[in-house]
Amino acid sequence: MRTSAIIVAAGSGSRLGAGQPKAFVTLGGRTLLAHSLATVAALRELLEVVVTVPPGMETEAHAEARRAGMTIPVKVTAGGIERQDSVRIALSLTSAESDLVVIHDAARPFASPALFERCIEAAARSGGAIAAIPVADTLKRVEKNLIAATLPRAGLYQAQTPQAFHRRLLIDAHERARAAGITATDDADLVERLGKRVEIVEAAALNLKITTPSDLQIAETIAAMLAK
């Protein structure tokens, strides 16, 4: 099936405190955005890539795409206020020729092409599929630094990206969410609200999300190991 990729890279990265947008922070000598571009460049049958960046970073993103040697069209746009706004803007730029859309956070530089392919294949089959890992720790709900409850972790997963969906379904989910004033932190949530099935594709803990300075330190160690 024809597929468009969306890389959301428009976050400010304020929790990282790097003094520049998170997707343009370097890891192992390349920006986080470059890591994701290289991964999608390795996918088969990809029609195009749409990248959201903070306003003013469009030229830099095009330069990254050139450096990554992308051979398919790369569209770059300023993102929106929330991640959901960025995805909606990117989605509106995807080609109507595409049957599927796969969305990825630039904040996850270690997602493999194989993980993308597994999500795309599962979404082609069932409408939607997301990378996720089973929760390993015991979860506590905490109020004012005191444990209020222990949550059973059986059946709980941490949602990651990539997340892939039939394009029309995802557009519908975003339009309905916007009309209803719903903001969600991932795309699967919006599709679930339509009562549609979304499959889990079990990923690896390696597909970590860089949010804080210590995440970046861990990622640097991993990048150095992978480079050996």
Position 28 contacts ligand C5P (CB under 6 A): no
Please give the residue whose beta carbon sits closest to ligand C5P in the complex: 11
Q: Site map for ligand C5P, 124-163, x if CB under 6 A? A: ----------------------------------------
The one segment of 93-101, 102-110, 138-146, 150-158 that binds ligand C5P by CB under 6 A: 102-110
Distance, CA of 198 to CA of 80 (rounded, Å): 25
3-class SS letters over the chain:
CCEEEEEECCCCCCCCCCCCCHHHCEECCEEHHHHHHHHHHCCCCEEEEEEEECCCCHHHHHHHHHHCCCCCCEEEEECCCCHHHHHHHHHHHCCCCCCEEEEEECCCCCCCHHHHHHHHHHHHHHCEEEEEEECCCCEEEEECCEEEEEECCCCCEEEEEEEEEEHHHHHHHHHHHHHHCCCCCCHHHHHHCCCCCCEEEECCCCCCCCCCHHHHHHHHHHHHHHHC
Scanning 6-14, 40-48, 129-137, 200-208 for contacts with ligand C5P by CB under 6 A, the matching segment is 6-14
Nearest approach in angstroms of CB 154 to ligand C5P is 26
Out of 5, 6, 23, 40, point to the residue binding ligand C5P (CB under 6 A).
23
State which of residues 112, 211, 220, 223 lies at the interface with ligand C5P (CB under 6 A).
211
Q: How far is the CB of 51 from ligand C5P (least distance, A)?
A: 9
Q: Which residues contact 93 (CB under 8 A, 6 or more apart)?
A: 50, 75, 77
Q: Is 61 in the site for ligand C5P (CB under 6 A)?
A: no
Closer of 86 and 207 to ligand C5P (Cβ): 86
From 3-11, 41-49, 168-176, 195-203, give the range in contact with ligand C5P by CB under 6 A.
3-11
- Is residue 11 a contact residue for ligand C5P (CB under 6 A)? yes
One-letter amino acid identity for 125? R
Is 7 or 129 the residue whose CB approaches ligand C5P more closely? 7
Which residues of this protein are in contact with ligand C5P, per CB under 6 A?
A: 8-11, 22-23, 52, 79-83, 86, 105-107, 211
